[in-house]
């Protein structure tokens, strides 16, 4: 029992450290990863018939989408993209609630696929910057 609590505490510290050290771009990536992980857990609990655990995992995914991804949208400078993402996040939340109500893995898979596509696109946005960071600084010889 003590070992399990110690592992959880270590994981929590690791997550907190990663969040504190992350760039804003990385934080969004972490939110996508967290939502997808929560959906994966909900599918696992769905298969086992663990209704309460499934509901908790889906609630966590909804919270990440609603209070994480949706909350950081910048409607002032984001324009149409921000508005479209807000609509998509609202759609995902509705689908997750319906998935929980119906115990429907198809709906969970749908939202997971949407998050995967967004996470992939988000990763490509920062790819040039990451490649530049990996390049050694060129000095005049």
Quote the DSSP letter at residue 135: S
So what's the pLDDT on residue 20? 58
Instruction: Tell me the two tokens of residue 13.
Output: 């510290």
Say whether pLDDT at 130 is over 90.
no
Task: Pick from 10-14, 36-40, 133-137 the range whose average pLDDT is largest.
Answer: 36-40
CATH of 25-124, one of 1.20.120.340, 3.40.640.10, 3.30.1700.10, 1.10.760.10: 1.20.120.340
Assess contact for 36 and 115: CB atoms under 8 A.
yes
**Token pair of 65 as six digits:** 């989408």
Quick one: pLDDT at residue 141?
46
* 49 Rama sector, left if φ>0, alpha if ψ -120 to 50, beta otherwise: left
DSSP H or E run through 51: helix 51-64
Q: Give the pLDDT band of residue 80 (cuts 50, 70, 90).
A: very high
pLDDT at 8: 46
Whether residue 2 is predicted with pLDDT greater than 90 in this model: the reply is: no
Q: What pTM value is reported for the model? A: 0.78
């Amino acid at each position: 029992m003590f070992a399990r609590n110690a592992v959880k505490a270590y994981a929590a510290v690791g997550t907190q450290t990663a969040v504190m050290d992350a760039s804003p771009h990385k934080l969004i990536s972490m939110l996508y990863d967290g939502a997808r992980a929560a959906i994966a857990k909900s599918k696992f609990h769905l298969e086992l018939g663990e209704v309460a655990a499934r509901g908790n995992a889906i609630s966590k995914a909804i919270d990440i989408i609603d209070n994480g991804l949706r909350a950081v949208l910048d409607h002032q400078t984001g324009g149409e993209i921000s508005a479209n993402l807000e609509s998509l996040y609202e759609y995902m939340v509705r689908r997750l609630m319906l998935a929980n109500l119906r115990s429907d893995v198809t709906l969970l898979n749908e939202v997971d696929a949407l998050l995967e596509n967004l996470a992939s696109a988000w990763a490509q946005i920062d790819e040039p910057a990451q490649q530049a960071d990996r390049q050694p600084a060129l000095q005049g010889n």
